[in-house]
Chains A and B, each alone.
Chain A
């Protein structure tokens, strides 16, 4: 782990006490439980919804409705599947999806993460195309 990429530095410089003082002391299940309880706070599914706006590119069919409220805990993959269903796309038919006419996000990224970083005027803009548009 650390050895491969940190050794020249670690050898000459002590790591700060903040994160290391307790590494070599006795095991403490109470400490781990405290950490697990804190972790639970970040595992709760966010029930909030945000507006996702779909925009067709090139020859892609236009949707009758292009504003949808989508729960932020959904993965982008769910957005792609929703879009394919709305368009009546069959499995295997190509559909390319982009954020802000710029990039394709990883399918396992969440709507929440994408919205926080890329929302425009309170909307997450998803472009879709039948051919590759922005690589």
Chain B
């Protein structure tokens, strides 16, 4: 694409190795959770000293996928056996310790980042703590009376899968104006993407080395490769070599030499690249809502890349004023996958490397509490 050629020297962050690295970091990201059963709802004869469960949960996972592990702990350790059998798992639901509901169909990393930005708008005794240290997301588990009208979806893994596939298709439509890439996947491949997420919940230690289906790949401790083997067919990449040279001849040697996530779409790499999409799938999350979504072209009309700074000052000019004087104060900051992102980050790059497993780049906006005049 000619507009991409107008860019300056390609960034070191866009080499195939960097793309794979950032995708792996995104995939491997975890957040700490503290899960406490509502004390008022604990069944009779529960072991009250132990009703709190701590876990490190994958950012790309979902609460319904953690339920088996949480339930196992509660049944084994906390609940009285007879009382535990009376409980119905479909009535369970989560609340944050500030009283806000946790949606079943939001990725856990997004739930975590939303709790960080929600805390950013409150005056806490130590305002810097949210940014300075990792604190667990405190969840209260209720065992009865789910507010179904607000949770919107049932807590089953199956309805979570439907919602996840819906998000992948919506992201595909945002990128290309159709869902041909998603619908072009075989059923086994579509299911494989979800299985990758489902199995990601297992702690690394549970995985047996050598359990991988592909004998030529190195032993994996998670299913990053399994996920990206399919996801790379629908997720564009930003490899800079593509714009400057014709695609390599489709020889089997070059295909096997590359990691799966950098596998080129043999026919027309430029047309399928991250800078050729109609729009990058991006949502802005403001503290305690709302969620904003609009078309985000990867390249601006002047031919330059669409940067995070431009994106934020276009959509949130009150929080990220377009004209900054040296004395103006920073009102807000953006988090993507829990990472404070630099203003020059390019939206196309974020879409290729920092999107969640559902294809979406979630930009969470927190408010600054410290500043200089």
> Which residues on the A side are within 8 Å of B183 (C-beta)?
134
B interface, CB within 8 angstroms of A: 21, 25-26, 28-31, 59, 103, 105, 112-113, 116, 121, 123, 127-128, 131, 134, 152-153, 162-163, 165-167, 169-170, 172-174, 178-179, 183, 190, 279, 283, 286-287, 289-295, 309, 316, 318-319, 324, 329-334, 337-340, 342-344, 367-372
Closest chain-B Cβ to A102's Cβ sits at a distance in Å of 5
Question: Within the complex, which residue of A16, A27, A107, A114 is in contact with B152, where a contact is CB–CB below 8 Å?
Answer: A107
- Taking a contact as CB atoms under 8 Å apart, the answer to whether A118 and B173 are in contact is yes
- Taking a contact as CB atoms under 8 Å apart, the answer to whether A5 and B26 are in contact is yes
User: Could you tell me the distance between the alpha carbons of A15 and B26 in the complex, rounded to whole angstroms?
Assistant: 18
Mask of A11-54 contacts with B, CB within 8 angstroms, 1/0:
00001101111111111110110111011011100000000000
> Can you give 17 contacting A-B residue pairs, CB < 8 Å?
A4-B31, A5-B338, A19-B334, A22-B330, A23-B368, A25-B371, A31-B370, A32-B121, A39-B286, A42-B316, A43-B286, A102-B179, A104-B169, A106-B163, A109-B291, A116-B294, A135-B162
> Which residues on the A side are within 8 Å of B279 (C-beta)?
117
The residue on B at minimum CB distance from A36 is: B121
| Number of chain A interface residues as a range | 35 or more
User: Could you tell me the distance between the alpha carbons of A3 and B343 in the complex, rounded to whole angstroms?
Assistant: 19
The 9 closest A-B pairs by CB, nearest first: A103-B169, A38-B318, A35-B367, A113-B293, A5-B29, A22-B371, A104-B166, A31-B371, A35-B331
Starting from the known contacts A102-B169, A103-B166, 7 additional A-B residue pairs (CB-CB under 8 Å) come to A1-B112, A2-B339, A22-B372, A39-B319, A104-B166, A108-B152, A113-B292
> Which residues on the B side are within 8 Å of A18 (C-beta)?
309, 324, 330, 342-343
User: Could you tell me the distance between the alpha carbons of A29 and B329 in the complex, rounded to whole angstroms?
Assistant: 13
Centre residue among B165, B179, B368 by max chain A CB count within 10 A: B368
User: Could you tell me the distance between the alpha carbons of A118 and B172 in the complex, rounded to whole angstroms?
Assistant: 12
Q: Does A94 contact B (CB under 8 A)?
A: no
In the complex with contacts A35-B332, A77-B152, A116-B295, A103-B179 CB distance below 8 A: yes
- A114-135: which residues lie under 8 A (CB-CB) from chain B? 114, 116-118, 134-135
Closest chain-A Cβ to B234's Cβ sits at a distance in Å of 13
> Which residues on the A side are within 8 Å of B309 (C-beta)?
18
- Taking a contact as CB atoms under 8 Å apart, the answer to whether B370 and A28 are in contact is yes
User: Could you tell me the distance between the alpha carbons of A107 and B59 in the complex, rounded to whole angstroms?
Assistant: 22
Closest chain-A Cβ to B192's Cβ sits at a distance in Å of 15
In the complex with contacts A5-B28, A5-B337, A39-B173 CB distance below 8 A: no
The residue on A at minimum CB distance from B179 is: A102
Q: Does A105 contact B (CB under 8 A)?
A: yes
